[in-house]
């Protein structure tokens, strides 16, 4: 088995500030202002080539942070990441620059990935057609709807043909026809034995598409394993979690983090 992604003891710390002045003062006197918040804490996992891994967990558990780190969009605070191949992330607007046009965004992203202008020109029309953005491609991306941004992100990511494809909630926006076209494309990638990470709140999508599941809870790995083992546990958990009051949810969070000895800043 070829290892595609190996994450060891990965943590991500954000600084949380009460207000803008605190953020500014922290620039001048670092470590004096703001509270540390661990969005990821000692995360470990390994994926083999061809694995399709669903990232699940309640809101704020760290799924997007982890996928952004794997895609190289967000830096980790500590730990090691080994990626065998090129990773590409499709998130609704992640990595797209609002002031640039759709066409300029295609060029920028492809240049950053090392493609030549000649290669980009060859790929560009295909990307625009796949994204169905012919009439809007020379407009700034900040004028796009979330569905249009998602289509552009998806079209760029699949056209550059990465070894590892990370799909972050891309299918939850946009129209049904585009979602179906995207699923077809993802099936093609699956058939080619590419590694994929699929971030989704839809348990059905995860069940249909993934062989493994990484369940994150408050920035830590709760479970990592086969989809058939993890999803029933997650479904039971969600059923109970939904019944909890806000107070009970906070107490649950504190108890989980205390067990792991995680110091979190107040959110």
Ligand X SMILES: Nc1ncnc2c1ncn2[C@@H]1O[C@H](COP(=O)(O)OP(=O)(O)OP(=O)(O)O)[C@@H](O)[C@H]1O
Residues of the shown chain interacting with ligand X in the complex, contacts defined by CB under 6 A: 14, 16, 37, 39, 57, 59-65, 267
How buried is residue 236: exposed, middle or buried, by Cβ count under 10 Å (0-12/13-18/19+)?
exposed
* CA 160 to centroid of chain Cα atoms: 18
* Closest alpha carbon to 40 in 87, 8, 5: 8
Q: Are the beta carbons of 156 and 109 closer than 8 angstroms?
A: yes
Nearer to ligand X, 141 or 214 (CB): 214
C-alpha count within 13 angstroms, C-beta hemisphere, residue 250: 5
Backbone angles phi, psi at 235, to 5 degrees: -60, -40
**Residue closer to ligand X (CB basis): 2 or 260:** 260
CB of 267 to ligand X, least distance (A): 6
Closer to ligand X by CB, 120 or 231: give it. Answer: 231
Indicate the residue among 11 and 233 with the shorter CB distance to ligand X. 11
What is the closest distance, in whole angstroms, from the C-beta atom of residue 24 to ligand X in the complex? Answer: 16
Least separation in angstroms between residue 218's CB and ligand X is 9
Instruction: Determine the Cα–Cα distance for residues 234 and 236; give it in Å rounded to an integer.
Output: 5
Q: How far apart are CB 65 and ligand X at their closest, in Å?
A: 3
Q: Least distance (Å) from ligand X to the CB of residue 15?
A: 7
Strand 220-226 vs strand 87-91: parallel, antiparallel, or unpaired?
unpaired
Of residues 120 and 171, the one with the C-beta less far from ligand X: 171
């Amino acid at each position: 088995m070829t290892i595609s992604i190996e994450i060891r003891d990965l943590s991500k710390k954000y600084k949380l500030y009460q207000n803008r002045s605190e953020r500014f003062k922290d620039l001048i006197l670092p470590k004096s202002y703001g509270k540390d918040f661990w969005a990821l804490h000692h995360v470990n996992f390994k994926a083999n080539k061809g694995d399709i891994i669903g990232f699940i967990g309640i809101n704020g558990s760290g799924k997007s942070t982890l996928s952004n780190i794997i895609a190289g969009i967000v830096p980790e605070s500590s730990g090691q990441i080994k990626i065998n191949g090129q990773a590409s992330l499709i998130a609704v607007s992640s990595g797209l620059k609002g002031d640039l046009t759709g066409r300029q965004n295609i060029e920028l992203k492809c240049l950053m990935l090392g493609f030549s202008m000649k290669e980009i020109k060859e790929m560009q029309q295909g990307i625009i057609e796949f994204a169905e953005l012919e009439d809007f491609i020379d407009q700034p991306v900040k004028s796009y709807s979330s569905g249009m941004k998602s289509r552009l992100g998806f079209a760029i990511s699949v056209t550059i043909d990465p070894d590892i494809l990370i799909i972050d909630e891309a299918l939850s926006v946009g129209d049904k026809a585009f979602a179906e076209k995207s699923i077809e494309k993802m099936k093609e990638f699956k058939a080619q034995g590419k590694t994929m990470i699929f971030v989704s709140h839809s348990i059905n999508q995860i069940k249909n598409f993934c062989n493994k599941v990484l369940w994150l809870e408050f920035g830590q790995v709760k479970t990592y394993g086969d989809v058939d083992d993890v999803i029933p546990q997650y479904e039971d958990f969600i059923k109970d979690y939904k019944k909890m009051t806000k107070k009970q949810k906070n107490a649950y969070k504190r108890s989980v983090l205390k067990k792991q000895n995680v110091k979190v800043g107040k959110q």
